[in-house]
Amino acid sequence: MEEKKKILYSGMQATNALTIGNYLGALKNWVTLNEEYECFFGVMDLHSLTVRQNPTEFRQNARKLYALYVAAGLDPKKNCVYYQSHVPAHAQLSWILNCFTYMGELNRMTQFKDKSAKHADNINAGLFTYPVLMAADILLYQTDVVPVGKDQMQHLEITRDIAMRFNNIYGDVFKIPEAYIGKSGARIMSLQDPTKKMSKSDENVNATILLTDDTDTIIRKFKRAVTDSDTQVRYDVENKPGVSNLMDIYSSITGKSSDEIEAEFDGKGYGDFKLAVGETVAKELAPIQLEYERLLKDKEYINGCIKENDEKAAYFANKTLRKAMKKVGLTEMIR
């Protein structure tokens, strides 16, 4: 008898194009996981509403994100790739879990403080309760593991706290998710300020490599990447953050170690190194870009994938939602 696969859950917000930070830090690794896990990957459009969106661009961006997921290798026949907003159970469970989450817990969330500073003119309740919706996302699918970086660990911890609190009152309703500890993706930093994480919302266009950037743009951005006054390609995050970041990018694609990269560029200047990194990134992204363009034109195929996967996600989510609703005493719908 075949052993049942554990469930893995993750997703990205449906705003702007993805960066190589998103790709090397998460998406590239997701592609390798569908043989080992039953995977659910969401286009997290509800989360995106904490910031005001242009409706037309927002819908287009969500579809582009879906197409990029598939183009990068997330086969919608092997994985459940779906729209968060198409499964109402996310919002329904989020409200229930809001009633089991304490203000003090949400006040401690560092992302709320960071985003409040960035969007001081729009500090809304959704931004504050964002971690509860994220908890609902994860718990709906009886998730075993969640791939998280350091900046998301706090969200997984509050998810676990909410789930354990609920289970302690009502019994075994939610599976308590663990952090995915595997081959961790690289933390890719800004090309213009290597002390900051690369961000798709960075105002400096030269700081970020988008998955949709063409070869000339990629190479130009890498040529302009901030390094240091030294000329030696050497891994030293503290003293040479720019060079170390480029080495991380190069290593993530080629699989070469820091020692191997240092040896490869021994005696060569930063110009040669930057060009090599740019060409390597462009070569990695070229087939993804071709498939992405093809998928955007194949509306029928993408629509079919969305419909099929939305239904699959809803089936799993609704099973958990019905159980939670029954436990708290909500009246079941008469069908």
What pLDDT sits at residue 332? 85
200: annotated active-site residue = yes
Active site (annotated) includes residue 118: no
Q: Which fold has domain 6-181+299-328?
A: Rossmann fold (3.40.50)
Looking at 115, 221, 240, 274, which residue is catalytic? 115
Catalytic residue among 5, 77, 113, 197: 197
DSSP state letter for 276:
H
Contact predicate 231/269, CB 8 Å: yes
What is the pLDDT, as a whole number, of residue 185?
Answer: 60
Residue type, 309: N
Residue bearing tokens 């660990």? 153
Among the four given CATH numbers 3.40.50.2300, 3.40.50.150, 3.30.230.10, 1.10.240.10, the one describing domain 205-294: 1.10.240.10
Domain spans of the chain, in order of start: 6-181+299-328, 205-294
- pLDDT score at 149: 74
Q: Which of 6, 200, 323, 327 is catalytic?
A: 200
For the entire predicted model, the pTM comes to 0.91
Cα–Cα distance for residue pair 131/99, rounded to 1 Å: 13
319 as an active site residue: the answer is no
Locate 90 and state its tokens: 């996310």
The number of angstroms, rounded, from the C-alpha of 83 to the middle of its chain's C-alpha atoms is 14
Per-residue pLDDT, 60: 95
Per-residue confidence (pLDDT) for residue 236, from 0 to 100: 92
Residue for token pair 């989020």: 94
Q: Strands, E, within the chain: which ranges?
A: 6-13, 37-44, 80-83, 145-146, 178-179
Per-residue pLDDT of the chain (335 residues; tens, 9 = 90+): 557 899 999 999 987 788 999 899 889 989 988 889 999 999 999 999 988 889 999 999 999 999 999 999 999 999 999 999 999 999 999 999 999 999 989 988 877 667 766 767 778 888 889 999 999 999 999 999 999 877 778 889 999 999 999 999 999 999 999 998 766 566 899 999 999 989 887 889 999 999 999 999 999 999 999 998 888 999 999 999 999 999 999 999 999 999 999 999 998 989 999 999 999 999 999 999 999 999 999 999 999 999 999 999 999 999 999 999 999 999 988 87
CB atoms within 10 A of CB 228: 14
Question: Token pair of 249, please?
Answer: 């990018």
Q: How much helix, strand and coil, in percent to the nearest 5, is found in the chain? A: 55, 10, 35
Q: Which of 73, 61, 87 is nearest to 26 (CA)?
A: 73
Residue 116, pLDDT score? 66
